[in-house]
Amino acid sequence: MATVLDGPPNLAALYARAALTARGRGGALPDTHLARHGVTVDRDHLAAYARVCRLPLDDVLPATYPHMLTFPLQMALMTDRAFPLGLVGLVHVRNRIEVLRPVRAEEALDLEVWAERFATHRSGATVDLCATATVGGAEVWRSRSTYLSRGATAPDGAPEADVEVPVGALERVAATWRVPDDAGRRYAKVSGDVNPIHLSGLTAKALGFKRAIAHGMWVKARVLGALAGRLPEALEFDVQFKKPLFLPSTVALSTAEVAGGWDVAVRNAGSGTEHVVGTIRTLEEKH
Amino acid sequence: MADNSKPATRKAAIVGGNRIPFARSNTAYAQASNQDMLTATLDGLVARFGLQGEQVGEVVAGAVLKHARDFNLTRESVLGSTLAATTPAYDVQQACGTGLEAAVLVANKIALGQIESGIAGGVDTTSDAPLAVGDDLRRVLISLNNAKTVGDRLKALARIRPGQLVPEIPRNAEPRTGLAMGDHAAITAKEWEIGREEQDELAVRSHHAMAAAYERGFFDDLVTPYLGLARDNNLRPDSSAEKLATLKPVFGRGEGATMTAGNSTPLTDGASAVLLASDEWAAAKGLPVLAHLVDAQTAAVDYVHGGEGLLMAPAYAMPVMLARNGLTLQDFDFYEIHEAFASTVLSTMKAWEDPEFCKEKLGLDAPLGSIDRSKLNVNGSSLAAGHPFAATGGRIVASLAKMLHEAGPGKRGLISICAAGGQGVVAILES
């Protein structure tokens, strides 16, 4: 049974709570489900999101957009004291989104999030934050975000973490992007994801990063924007976040058309350091 | 003497069109860029005619108000659309004539056999308008950019004055006269003694005709909803002469001023696109041929020093095109005269009826004569829909082609569009 919230949780407050309640966590994953019903898209927010991610503005939600609506719920779940892993130091390592059919901006969405698959990773433990969006009872969108907590221990008998997204050879560069110093702040303003590691060099240093890093979901959305007009209607977009994208950077997007979709990679334009690799595939009917 | 007859070519078919509903400035599309709107419009057209992933011969479109970054607006929109990325594209700009001129350009290439299919379109936003820095500041910034030493940079920066920081907002005004288009139209309205009542009446008719057309589903296969808007939000189905009579004039001065916000088009955002093709291409794809683009003509007038009205160029283009096709002004079943202002439509028609104007200015032995008003803008025009400058031509071409198709074979339609800079484009469609 899901706990239904009336509105979106305040992310800044949740980050503050996370910092204050980092100690003394542990145990198994709670089976809490958080939900919001009848959520409608604020068109101005959608426009701001499209602008910051360089996505075309139309009536169909970008595949990554519902995450804007489900992420605050997932944050509420993760910052709750019952959640076994401290939010500080949690790293987003994989995100898989499935668009079961195009979702239009005017549709009222029922959202639900939960955590599952506490798993063992060679450098700690991972957990999946899942989300689903339904319209009139039919699922239209789902996502699975895998977070790694370094040094954490999964419960006995936990499965192996599944964080790899294999891609084919991606040698040809399709586009070069200059990612400015303020890319994190700009996306934070729209997404509400004000994690200090994205906001400035100082706040990132305080959390152990040498410089501010770009939001992975922003990079993912920009890849989507770069492929606008060439994507299947129902799709599965799975990415692995590899090395942090430090700000500012110049990165190179590589794309390769494969049967049923695309393989993509975003790498540092100079060093070749891999930031994001992913696959986009036509979603076949699975029922 | 030059041979003025047309070479033997095929006529380009109009297969259909698509547009997004037009939105008054800073309303539903306040956040949309020209590229957003044009891409959505192309995608709607592609979806309507099943052209996903296909390469068409060429896409030609333009915008009147364009950001410098949109130098390749149409090609960029094609690349973001569901058309094949191998579809060539280019931009055109002929002020409010852009959309129709784009259709003529595509049709001509089809007529010459250079392409088999093409899309003509146009888009404009007055909400997401390109602000420019003033010329003084622009020069300072260029020297700053070119400065090699810190001293040079400081010198350049020292030239900045607070007043220069106010951006230049594009205005709907003529660079050479400094007059707003509406003020120009007001001068013409006065010259042609166009009354307030007849302007308001034309505006009311436009609103009622377009509302009725929406009601009977005429626009169902011409318009695709966008950003939550399903109909033009300038449309006032309950418009009436009494309501319009209460509005104060906004263009022209003093006693004789007749032009109000009600009988002038508002600033509008929107986009339109038209699919043209050879008959063979359409047949091979199983697509309809609504009408053919038979001929077109442009003209320009010297509104700066020559004393002609800014928006009167279509009056000059028309007799040239009619003569070339052996037609009279009365040989048409539908007339689409773009309602930039109600007074523009009325002045143009009055000019064609005027023996002196037709003799002195157009060099005709007899006036072109009058138009049967029941055949004019029968599904409404720009006063009702609004007028996103470059998008108007595509709206009219697609609508007229559909009207002709519904009326049956052998019907003729006439288009007349006035444009800034004293230009005009006219065209003939035939089912």
Return the CATH number at B389. 3.40.47.10
Find where tokens 């110093």 sit. Answer: A181
Task: Nearest by CB to B225, from A44, A50, A59: name it.
Answer: A59
Test A44 with B31 for CB contact under 8 angstroms.
yes
Distance CA A172, CA A26 (A): 45
Distance CA A266, CA A251 (A): 6
Tell me how close the Cα of A229 comes to any Cα of chain B, in angstroms. 4
Q: Average the pLDDT over B367-372 and give the result.
A: 97
Q: Give residue-wise pLDDT tens across range A138-158.
A: 999 999 999 999 889 998 899
Residue B148 sits in the same domain as residue B197:
no
Test B81 with A57 for CB contact under 8 angstroms.
no
Q: Average the pLDDT over A198-213 and give the result.
A: 91
Task: Nearest by CB to A57, from B32, B43, B83: name it.
Answer: B32
B358 in catalytic set? no
Q: What pLDDT shows up at residue B228?
A: 94
Residue B142 sits in the same domain as residue B188:
no
For chain A, the maximum distance between any two Cα atoms, rounded to a whole number of angstroms, is 50
Architecture of domain A2-282: Roll (3.10)
Q: Average the pLDDT over B199-221 and give the result.
A: 97
Distance CA A255, CA A170 (A): 6
Distance CA A237, CA A230 (A): 13
Residue B203 sits in the same domain as residue B161:
no
Residue B316 sits in the same domain as residue B379:
yes
Q: Average the pLDDT over A41-59 and give the result.
A: 96
Test B228 with A59 for CB contact under 8 angstroms.
yes
Q: Which residues contact A93 (CB under 8 A, 6 or more apart)?
A: A126, A146, A147, A148, A163, A240, A241
Q: Is B32 on the interface with A (CB under 8 A)?
A: yes
Test B40 with A58 for CB contact under 8 angstroms.
yes
Task: Answer yes or no: are the C-beta atoms of A253 and A264 closer than 8 Å.
Answer: yes
Q: Give residue-wise pLDDT tens across range A255-287.
A: 999 998 999 999 999 999 999 999 999 998 654
201-230 in B: which are within 8 Å (CB) of A? 225-228
Residue B159 sits in the same domain as residue B188:
no
Q: Give residue-wise pLDDT tens across range B137-162.
A: 788 888 888 888 888 888 888 887 77
* B241 domain-assigned: no
Test B32 with A228 for CB contact under 8 angstroms.
no
Q: In the structure, what pLDDT confidence band is assigned to residue A53 with cuts at 50, 70 and 90? A: very high
Point out the least confidently predicted range of A4-13, B49-58, B75-84: A4-13
Q: What percent of chain A has pLDDT over 70?
A: 99
Q: What pLDDT shows up at residue A285?
A: 62
Q: Average the pLDDT over B336-353 and give the result.
A: 97
SS3 for B314? helix
Q: What pLDDT shows up at residue A287?
A: 44
Q: Does residue B1 carry a pLDDT above 50?
A: no
Test A229 with B40 for CB contact under 8 angstroms.
no
User: Domain segments of chain A: what residues?
Assistant: 2-282
Q: What percent of chain A has pLDDT over 90?
A: 77
Distance CA A121, CA B388 (A): 57
Q: Average the pLDDT over B354-381 and give the result.
A: 96
Tell me how close the Cα of A287 comes to any Cα of chain B, in angstroms. 27
Residue B360 sits in the same domain as residue B311:
yes
Interface test with A, best of B38, B43, B227 (most A CBs within 10 A): B227
Residue B160 sits in the same domain as residue B203:
no
Test A229 with B83 for CB contact under 8 angstroms.
yes
Test B228 with A43 for CB contact under 8 angstroms.
yes
Distance CA B195, CA B218 (A): 32
Which chain A residues are within 8 Å of B35, Cβ to Cβ?
56
How does the average pLDDT of chain B come out, rounded? Answer: 93
The residue range of the domain holding B327 is 181-216+293-430
Point out the least confidently predicted range of A53-57, B38-42, B123-127, B399-403: B123-127
Q: Average the pLDDT over A63-73 and give the result.
A: 97
Could you report the predicted ipTM of this complex, rounded to two decimals? 0.87
Which residue does chain A place closest to B230, by CA atoms? A59
Residue B313 sits in the same domain as residue B364:
yes
Q: Is B283 on the interface with A (CB under 8 A)?
A: no
What residues pair up with B168 in beta bridges, in sequence order? B132
Task: Answer yes or no: are the C-beta atoms of A55 and A221 closer than 8 Å.
Answer: yes
Which chain A residues are within 8 Å of B32, Cβ to Cβ?
47, 57
Q: In the structure, what pLDDT confidence band is assigned to residue B109 with cuts at 50, 70 and 90? A: very high
Tell me how close the Cα of B396 comes to any Cα of chain A, in angstroms. 24
Residue B345 sits in the same domain as residue B390:
yes
Domain count, chain B: 2
Task: Nearest by CB to A229, from B36, B82, B227: name it.
Answer: B82
Q: Average the pLDDT over A158-164 and give the result.
A: 94
Test B39 with A59 for CB contact under 8 angstroms.
no
Task: Nearest by CB to A57, from B36, B79, B82: name it.
Answer: B36
Distance CA B341, CA B382 (A): 8
Residue B159 sits in the same domain as residue B297:
no
Q: Give residue-wise pLDDT tens across range B282-333.
A: 999 999 999 999 999 999 999 999 889 999 999 999 999 999 999 999 999 9
Test B79 with A44 for CB contact under 8 angstroms.
no
Distance (Å) of CA B312 to CA A246, B185, B200, B201, B334: 60, 9, 20, 21, 20
Task: Nearest by CB to B80, from A43, A44, A229: name it.
Answer: A229
Which chain A residues are within 8 Å of B40, Cβ to Cβ?
56-59
SS3 for A211? coil
Closest Cα partner for B373 from B193, B209, B243, B191? B209
Closest Cα partner for A93 from A272, A236, A275, A225? A275
Distance CA A276, CA A251 (A): 10
Q: What pLDDT shows up at residue B8?
A: 61
CB-based burial, A178-205: b 16+ in 10 Å, e otherwise = ebeeebbebbbebbbbbbbbbbbeebbe
Which chain B residues are within 8 Å of A59, Cβ to Cβ?
40, 225-228
pTM for this model (two decimals): 0.91
Test A47 with B32 for CB contact under 8 angstroms.
yes
* B280 domain-assigned: no
Tell me how close the Cα of B36 comes to any Cα of chain A, in angstroms. 6
Single-letter amino acid code for the residue at A226: A
Q: In the structure, what pLDDT confidence band is assigned to residue A17 with cuts at 50, 70 and 90? A: confident
Residue B316 sits in the same domain as residue B369:
yes
Task: Answer yes or no: are the C-beta atoms of B198 and B227 closer than 8 Å.
Answer: no
Distance CA A215, CA A122 (A): 24
Which chain B residues are within 8 Å of A228, Cβ to Cβ?
39, 80
Q: In the structure, what pLDDT confidence band is assigned to residue B4 with cuts at 50, 70 and 90? A: low
Distance (Å) of CA A70 to CA A29, A36, A142, B78, B308: 19, 9, 10, 32, 62
Distance CA B348, CA B192 (A): 9
Test B80 with A44 for CB contact under 8 angstroms.
no
Test B31 with A47 for CB contact under 8 angstroms.
yes
Distance (Å) of CA B100 to CA B75, B131, B179, B334: 19, 26, 25, 17
Q: In the structure, what pLDDT confidence band is assigned to residue B206 with cuts at 50, 70 and 90? A: very high
Closest Cα partner for B297 from B4, B39, B1? B4
Tell me how close the Cα of A265 comes to any Cα of chain B, in angstroms. 20
Interface contacts A/B by beta carbons within 8 Å: 46
Tell me how close the Cα of B125 comes to any Cα of chain A, in angstroms. 14
Which chain B residues are within 8 Å of A229, Cβ to Cβ?
39, 43, 79-83, 85
Kindly state the tokens that stand for A76. Answer: 């509420």
Residue B161 sits in the same domain as residue B188:
no
Out of B184, B338, B387, B405, which one is annotated catalytic?
Answer: B387
Q: What pLDDT shows up at residue B305?
A: 92
Which residue does chain B place closest to A48, by CA atoms? B31
Distance CA A90, CA B208 (A): 61
Residue B169: how many other CB atoms lie within 10 Å:
10
Test A229 with B43 for CB contact under 8 angstroms.
yes
Q: What pLDDT shows up at residue B164?
A: 75
Tell me how close the Cα of A158 comes to any Cα of chain B, in angstroms. 44
Single-letter amino acid code for the residue at A86: G
Test B43 with A58 for CB contact under 8 angstroms.
yes
Point out the least confidently predicted range of B68-72, B161-165, B357-361, B376-380: B161-165
Which residue does chain A place closest to B42, by CA atoms? A229
Closest Cα partner for B415 from B403, B425, B405? B425
* B175 domain-assigned: no
Tell me how close the Cα of B241 comes to any Cα of chain A, in angstroms. 36
54-113 in B: which are within 8 Å (CB) of A? 79-83, 85
The residues of A whose Cβ lies within 8 A of any Cβ of B are: 43-44, 47-48, 50-51, 56-59, 105-106, 228-230
